[in-house]
Copies of this chain bind each other. A is one copy, B any other.
Amino acid sequence: MKDNKKQKKILEVAEEEFLMKGFAGARTVEIAQKAGVSHSMLHYYYKTKEQLFEHVMGEKLQQLKESVSTVFMIEDMPVVEKVVELVVRHFEFLSENPDLPRFIINEVIVRPEYAEMMKREALPILKDAVARLQRELDAAAKEGEVRTMDAATLLMDIVSVNLFSFIVAPILSSVKPDMDFQAYYHARCQENVQLILNRINPDIK
């Protein structure tokens, strides 16, 4: 029953290799070797390089989904607090996967077929989240707790504002090479929360 340990290991190494070298640059032989298994094991578990890649991306999507969408499971939490949780969890996911945005943007441009897969997998999840959020926002808007808002726009704002912080980080560090990333991320997350709070606050603007 140590079987899935090797399977997991392959997935782990594959993630590193794909992120580091891109889909085209990654080598299945090297992934197998670094995972400490014979090359055929990789195909035994994941059939093809393409499918292995899809598993890796599927896992990332799953992690994102779990960390973010469980917010909606929490009962008895005002929607404003839920939104804050959403921002923070999404930000934390990006902290743990700082290379992912760059990688995805690149693969989407370089391999349009992958963009299709991404849409197919990610859109339903997103639509579900939007629907849930919209319902809660509408209820809260009636009570005057938040401004009347389009949930899709709000989610887009959250994603943009967080992504932005990470895309900009390498540029900032090239200007200030001694920059403290830990402090930067911490401050940025707080600012982003504030920014989103202002956007739903019924009293401002």
By a beta-carbon cutoff of 8 Å, the part of chain A in contact with chain B is 20-25, 99, 102, 105-106, 109-111, 153, 156-157, 160, 163-164, 167-168, 170-172, 174-175
Could you tell me the dominant secondary structure of chain A's interface residues?
Answer: helix
Number of copies of this kind of chain in the complex: 2
A-B contact pairs, 23 of them (CB 8 A): A20-B109, A21-B24, A22-B22, A22-B110, A23-B25, A24-B24, A25-B110, A99-B109, A102-B105, A102-B106, A102-B109, A105-B170, A106-B106, A153-B175, A156-B174, A156-B175, A160-B171, A160-B172, A160-B174, A160-B175, A163-B171, A164-B168, A167-B171
Inside 8 A of A20's CB, which chain B residues have their CB?
Answer: 109-110
